[in-house]
Amino acid sequence: MQHQKCSLELYTNFLISNQNRYSGTELSKNAPNLSHDHITRWLAHAEYTPGDLWKHAQPLVAKETGYLIGDDSLLSKKFSRENELAKLQYSGNAHGLQNGICLVNVLWTNGAEYIPVDYRIYQKENDDKTRNDHFQDMLKRAQKRGFKPCYVLMDSWYGGVENLKLITKELNWDFICNLKSNRKVCVTKGLYVSVSDLPLADKQVRKVWLKEYGYVLVCKLVDKDGGITYLATNDLHLTEYDEYREAFSHRWTIEEFHRGIKQTTGIEKRYATRAASQKTHIFASFVAFVKLETARVREKVSWYEQKAIIGRAATTAYLLQSA
């Protein structure tokens, strides 16, 4: 009996169709003539890179419109004692340190579609690159690929001066980002104050000088619980508060993407300890998500419902057989 070979197409379909068990053993039990050893070897030697994601994402994006959003997310490995990519680092979900793999991601969206176009695995001890270095590398590659976004959107972590200067002075793009409350701005030359101490009326957009950068427009968002978020943009024409807030609201799509890829592709649930196998699984998870998003846009069926439909068919067949 000839063994079936593992492939990216087969593996990504397995990630989509499976509900909670994403191991090679489980795949070998579901795929005819596919041995666990074949899966293990494929994961260890496939050699996909983040750059290979682009050929799957490219047909789905309109490069001269939409938004590019940067952020990072931690893949939890809290039960993994040995993993070559995981280390103890901060997790926003856990609100503390957790063992995991940090991914820095860039997502393209037009407000309705969610397409990951690039990612990096943060492992400074191997390549001496910070998360901001990875973010800058991905933005530069996006420009080479022809992207001309309406805005680059990011939270305060990626709102540092070096990133802002890269976006505006080298890439000639516009940005909107969070500002930490202690970022220094001035209205009167030479007199700097924290942005939280700047007099800002409700829904006011104000032009200020951001320390070490230049002129920006700032405003503050107040949520229903009274929490305040400060925003900055280099687009000095974005003076209407509602338009400003609406543009930045698209940043939330990357949070939805992070939740979606974790809940639908098993990106956190590969138990291999070797870096090569983990990297292949992570890449395949991104490709699986692109497949789910393609179907969501085309067929108007959510990522979660697509998986439920597959599981429902199996349940129905079992019930009919046992009736």
In a domain, 228, yes or no: no
**Phi, psi angle pair for 118, to nearest 5°:** -165, 155
Q: What is the pLDDT of residues 287-318, one digit of tens each?
A: 999 999 999 999 999 999 999 999 998 889 88
Residue 89 has pLDDT above 60, yes or no: yes
| Residue 3 pLDDT | 60
| Residue 210 pLDDT | 96
| Residue 272 pLDDT | 78
Pairwise CA distance, residues 53 & 115, whole Å: 10
| Residue 36 pLDDT | 86
Q: Are 27 and 34 in contact (CB under 8 A)?
A: yes
In a domain, 224, yes or no: no
**Banded pLDDT at 85 (limits 50, 70, 90):** confident
**Domain span holding position 151:** 8-174+235-313
Token output for 44: 């260890």
**Residue 73 exposed, middle or buried by CB count within 10 Å (0-12, 13-18, 19+):** buried
Q: What is the largest CA-CA distance in the chain?
A: 81
For residue 3, how many other CB atoms are within 10 A of its CB? 11
**Banded pLDDT at 240 (limits 50, 70, 90):** very high
Q: Are 154 and 163 in contact (CB under 8 A)?
A: yes
| CB proximity list for 3: less than 8 A, separation 6 or greater | 33, 34, 35, 38
Percent of the residues in the chain that have a pLDDT greater than 70, as a whole number: 98
Q: What is the pLDDT of residues 181-239, one digit of tens each?
A: 999 999 887 899 999 999 998 899 999 999 999 999 999 999 888 889 999 999 999 99
Distances (CA, A) of 57 to 61, 85, 100, 290, 320: 7, 25, 26, 7, 39
In a domain, 180, yes or no: no
Stretch 67-89: mean pLDDT: 87
Residue 284 has pLDDT above 50, yes or no: yes
Q: What angle do CA 158, 180, 217 make, to 5 degrees?
A: 85
In a domain, 288, yes or no: yes
| Residue 226 pLDDT | 85
Token output for 7: 């492939």
Residue 94 has pLDDT above 80, yes or no: no
Amino acid at 78: K
Distances (CA, A) of 199 to 176, 187, 213: 20, 10, 20
**Banded pLDDT at 255 (limits 50, 70, 90):** very high
How many domains does the chain contain in total? 1
In a domain, 182, yes or no: no
Stretch 83-95: mean pLDDT: 80
| Residue 305 pLDDT | 96
**Banded pLDDT at 1 (limits 50, 70, 90):** very low
More confident residue, 306 or 270: 306
As a whole number, the mean pLDDT across the chain is 92
Percent of the residues in the chain that have a pLDDT greater than 90, as a whole number: 73
Pairwise CA distance, residues 16 & 307, whole Å: 6
For tokens 């680092």, name the residue.
89
Pairwise CA distance, residues 163 & 251, whole Å: 17
In a domain, 189, yes or no: no
In a domain, 140, yes or no: yes
| Residue 163 pLDDT | 98
Pairwise CA distance, residues 110 & 322, whole Å: 47
**Banded pLDDT at 323 (limits 50, 70, 90):** low
| CB proximity list for 94: less than 8 A, separation 6 or greater | 76
Residue 4 has pLDDT above 80, yes or no: no
Alpha helices in the chain (DSSP H): 8-17, 24-30, 36-45, 54-57, 124-127, 131-144, 161-165, 241-249, 253-265, 275-299, 303-322
Pairwise CA distance, residues 158 & 156, whole Å: 5
Q: What is the pLDDT of residues 17-55, one digit of tens each?
A: 998 888 888 888 888 788 888 999 999 999 899 999 999
For residue 85, how many other CB atoms are within 10 A of its CB? 24
In a domain, 322, yes or no: no
Q: What is the dihedral of CA 111, 114, 117, 121, to 10 degrees?
A: 120
